[in-house]
């Protein structure tokens, strides 16, 4: 029996996120997801007048390829997929994972090789810049386990946070925050283990309400590259390159990470931050407010949208909000500031705008959970 939630989500991705138009070619990349949902996506693209193309992947196969990959092999693969991506007007990437640590034993040098020679040209340069795209995870027992709930409960949660949000209402509520951030120069963030300041002067502010990520609910910008000073301590576990990192603490001087700690994974953290020069500078800063996502689950497409959180990202800056930082790394690290996570304050030009995860200015309270749920 067809799950009606599949149809609802597929239509949201096609009509709202990618806005498929008649005659447009749309690449659907399906990673370890049910065939039934891929079929719903094909039908939804076709119903919109688009031309669906499909590629399917299995993480165990990808792992085997990466463990022995050579630069020539990855370059050839990138050339093939780059040519395909260049012909697309739309892209929908649905990513399941039966084992979140599947890539943990792929050598770091091969992961770096793949990110530099495949991920950057195919996705960062072509897909992100040249297509209308959306990416999302798929609910499975592995994600439910990471979230600490049953598979059935997680599926209910997933479809609620992905397709149950009024993204049009959210977009309207973001407008005054975007205006304020566009006028802001100095940002100060305080909290447990955190006392950080930077400038965002003259760097664009980008609201996100379901156009590129599902689930969604964030507004991002970027610090001026050399302006970040102080220390930040993240209180969310973060999964990167197959390893789960806890309690990351970064200290900055004139934009550069000069000290990085992560308990027993400190060496691995610094190895990643030494991938290239830009990996030790920040490429994104974002405030999040999806009202239905309240705790981390080691999946960044969800964790970066947690109500009352922000993420500060070492590595590559987005072209839409560019501070000139370039890197093969883009590592979203999340800090929740709601009281049960220790609280914290955010100031714009010395004015308190969010306290303990709730916006305080009258024009911004529409982004607080009670308002977005109502």
Distances (CA, A) of 78 to 56, 84, 94, 190, 324: 16, 10, 20, 43, 25
Kindly indicate the confidence band of residue 354, based on its pLDDT and cuts at 50, 70 and 90. very high
Instruction: Return the pLDDT at 299.
Output: 85
Report the half-sphere exposure of 5 (CA within 13 A, side-chain side).
12
What are the pLDDT digits (tens) for 166-206? 898 999 999 999 999 999 999 999 999 999 999 999 999 99
pLDDT at residue 163 tops 80:
yes
* All residues at 6 or more sequence positions from 11 whose CB lies less than 8 Å from its CB, including other chains: 44
All structural domains of the chain: 4-163 (3.40.1830.10), 167-373 (no CATH)
What are the pLDDT digits (tens) for 265-300? 999 999 999 999 999 999 999 999 999 999 998 888
* All residues at 6 or more sequence positions from 195 whose CB lies less than 8 Å from its CB, including other chains: 189, 230, 231
Instruction: Return the pLDDT at 105.
Output: 87
């Amino acid at each position: 029996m067809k799950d009606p939630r599949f149809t609802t989500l597929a239509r949201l991705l096609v009509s709202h996120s990618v806005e498929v138009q008649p005659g447009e070619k749309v690449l659907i990349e399906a990673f370890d997801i049910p065939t039934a949902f891929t079929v719903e996506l094909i039908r939804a693209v076709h119903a919109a007048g688009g031309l669906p193309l499909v590629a399917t992947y299995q993480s165990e196969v990808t792992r085997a390829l990466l463990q022995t990959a050579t630069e020539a092999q990855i370059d050839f693969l990138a050339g093939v997929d780059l040519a395909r991506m260049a012909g697309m007007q739309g892209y929908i990437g649905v990513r399941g994972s039966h084992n979140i640590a599947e890539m943990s034993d792929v050598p770091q040098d091969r992961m770096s090789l793949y990110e530099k020679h495949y991920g950057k040209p195919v996705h960062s340069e072509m897909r992100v810049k040249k297509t209308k795209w959306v990416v999302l995870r798929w609910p499975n027992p592995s994600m439910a386990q990471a979230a600490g709930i049953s598979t059935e409960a997680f599926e209910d949660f997933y479809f609620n946070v992905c397709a149950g949000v009024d993204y049009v209402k959210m977009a309207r509520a973001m407008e005054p925050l975007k205006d304020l951030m566009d006028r802001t120069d100095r940002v100060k963030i305080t909290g447990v283990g955190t006392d950080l300041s930077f400038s965002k002067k003259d760097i664009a502010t980008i609201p996100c309400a379901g156009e590129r990520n599902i689930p969604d609910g964030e507004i991002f910008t970027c610090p001026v590259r050399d302006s970040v000073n102080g220390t930040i301590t993240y209180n969310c576990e973060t999964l990167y390159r197959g390893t789960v990192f806890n309690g990351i603490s970064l200290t900055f001087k004139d934009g550069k990470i000069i000290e990085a700690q992560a308990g027993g994974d400190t060496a691995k953290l610094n190895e990643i931050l030494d991938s290239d020069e830009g990996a030790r500078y920040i490429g994104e800063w974002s405030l999040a407010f999806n009202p239905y996502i309240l705790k981390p689950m080691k999946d960044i497409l969800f964790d970066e949208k947690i109500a009352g959180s922000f993420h500060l990202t070492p590595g590559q800056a987005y072209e839409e909000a560019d501070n000139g930082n370039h890197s093969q790394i883009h590592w979203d690290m999340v800090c929740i500031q709601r009281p049960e996570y220790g609280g914290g304050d955010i100031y714009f030009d010395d004015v308190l705008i969010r306290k303990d995860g709730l916006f305080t200015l009258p024009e911004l309270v529409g982004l607080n959970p009670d308002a977005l749920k109502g």
